[in-house]
């Protein structure tokens, strides 16, 4: 199974081996991030992203096959990200995958990007078991899902405005930390006090499992303006730590509430924000006290990558939740709710 990911600003290609019994095994993967290119603009420029995917996807495919000691003729299925994501970026991966499969007379399978994140912990040495609650936290998505099996997903709650990743990035930008802001804010937070500033925890006591982070971003803007034109390093570190603490507290408490509401004792955390060290620490402590389990993908597989796409495709085929096809006309779905996957 060759997997191609091109939904936003990372080009990922991976090779996964699978049969009808054991979990699929990652043979090789390669990733190119466009962070440096987009940093000059303070965010992702869709047209530049698409053009860079065109340049990267075939060389990355060659690299992955070489790493795995495999050839194109050995491929059985070519998988690609069908959505959600940037339309132009998605079209690159879809077009290359379908053209490659047609040339090889092999079937193709379009994969839901978030399902890739959802199933990425199965690539870890500490793979989870079904059923579980999943916390999907990435740059554009914050959702809690009940996962009973491959393809069986129930939405429990989601953000009604900004996602957690957006809250990290936008707060960092307000503090002048550049792009990508989330990791920069987290690094700065290590030198500050989490109680330095009183910031809101939106919807923390709402009684449901939905999220909201837009108000937090506004509060960070207000506090930063109060610091004046030249805030000290200590003040900035305190604001970063307080911002991170607010986001993490909401994510942790909502995740625990989802486990309690469903009666499940296993949590899976995936998506780029899932790499945040403070979030992992708080979730590890909270679940350990209750005798519950929490699973994460490996750190290098938290961001968008081809391995999660190949893994999701392989698991869907194994479970009979999808069928690969030799129908090479393709479309992409920039907006595609995970609970509507078929």
Domains by residue range for the chain, with CATH: 2-119+301-340 (3.30.420.40), 127-296 (3.30.420.40)
Inter-CA distances, 73 with 78, 88, 104, Å: 12, 29, 7
Residues 6+ apart with CB under 8 A from 14: 2, 3, 26, 27, 28, 29, 30, 64, 305, 306, 307, 309, 310, 311
Terminal C-alpha separation, the chain: 20
Does residue 22 have a pLDDT over 90? no
What is the predicted pLDDT for the residue at 338?
Answer: 87
Average pLDDT over residues 104-127: 96
Inter-CA distances, 246 with 49, 102, 107, 184, 210, Å: 32, 49, 46, 16, 15
Dump pLDDT digits (tens) for 207-265. Answer: 999 999 999 999 999 999 999 999 999 999 999 999 999 999 999 999 999 999 999 99
pLDDT band at residue 110, thresholds of 50, 70 and 90?
A: very high
pLDDT band at residue 178, thresholds of 50, 70 and 90?
A: confident
What is the predicted pLDDT for the residue at 233?
Answer: 96
Average pLDDT over residues 177-192: 93
Average pLDDT over residues 158-163: 95
Does residue 179 have a pLDDT over 90? no
The Cα–Cα gap between 132 and 259 comes to 8
What is the predicted pLDDT for the residue at 261?
Answer: 98
DSSP string of 268-282, one letter each residue: EEESGGGG-HHHHHH
Average pLDDT over residues 189-195: 97
Does residue 20 have a pLDDT over 80? no
Residues 6+ apart with CB under 8 A from 51: none
Average pLDDT, the chain: 96
Task: Determine what percent of the chain is predicted with pLDDT higher than 90.
Answer: 94
Average pLDDT over residues 19-28: 88
pLDDT band at residue 175, thresholds of 50, 70 and 90?
A: very high
Can you read off the two tokens belonging to residue 248?
């993490």
């Amino acid at each position: 199974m060759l997997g191609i990911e091109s939904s936003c600003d990372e080009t990922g290609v991976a090779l996964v081996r699978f049969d009808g019994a054991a979990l699929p095994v990652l043979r090789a993967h390669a990733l190119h991030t466009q962070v440096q290119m987009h940093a000059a603009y303070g965010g992702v420029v869709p047209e530049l992203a698409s053009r860079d995917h065109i340049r990267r996807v075939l060389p990355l495919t060659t690299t992955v096959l070489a790493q795995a000691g495999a050839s194109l003729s050995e491929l059985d299925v070519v998988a690609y990200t069908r959505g959600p994501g940037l339309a132009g970026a998605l079209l690159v991966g879809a077009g290359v995958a379908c053209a490659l499969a047609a040339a090889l007379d092999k079937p193709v399978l379009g994969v839901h990007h978030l399902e890739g994140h959802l199933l990425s912990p199965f690539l870890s040495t500490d793979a989870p078991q079904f059923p579980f609650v999943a916390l999907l936290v990435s740059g554009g998505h914050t959702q809690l899902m009940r996962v009973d099996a491959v393809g069986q997903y129930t939405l429990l709650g989601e953000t009604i405005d900004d996602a957690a990743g957006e809250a990290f990035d936008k707060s960092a930008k307000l503090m002048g930390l550049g792009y990508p802001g989330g990791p920069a804010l987290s690094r700065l937070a290590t030198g500050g006090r989490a109680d330095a500033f009183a910031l809101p925890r939106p919807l923390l006591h709402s009684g449901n499992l939905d999220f909201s982070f837009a108000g937090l971003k506004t509060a960070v803007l207000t506090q930063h303006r109060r610091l004046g034109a030249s805030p000290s390093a200590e003040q900035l570190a305190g604001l970063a730590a307080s911002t991170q603490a607010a986001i993490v507290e909401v994510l942790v408490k909502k995740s625990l509430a989802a486990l309690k509401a469903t009666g499940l004792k296993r949590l899976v955390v995936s998506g780029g924000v899932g790499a945040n060290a403070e979030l992992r620490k708080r979730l590890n402590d909270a679940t350990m006290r209750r005798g519950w389990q929490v699973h994460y993908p490996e750190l290098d597989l938290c961001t968008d990558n081809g391995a999660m796409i190949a893994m999701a495709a392989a698991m869907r085929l194994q479970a009979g939740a999808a069928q690969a096809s030799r129908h090479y006309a393709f479309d992409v779905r920039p907006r595609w709710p995970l609970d509507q996957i078929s």
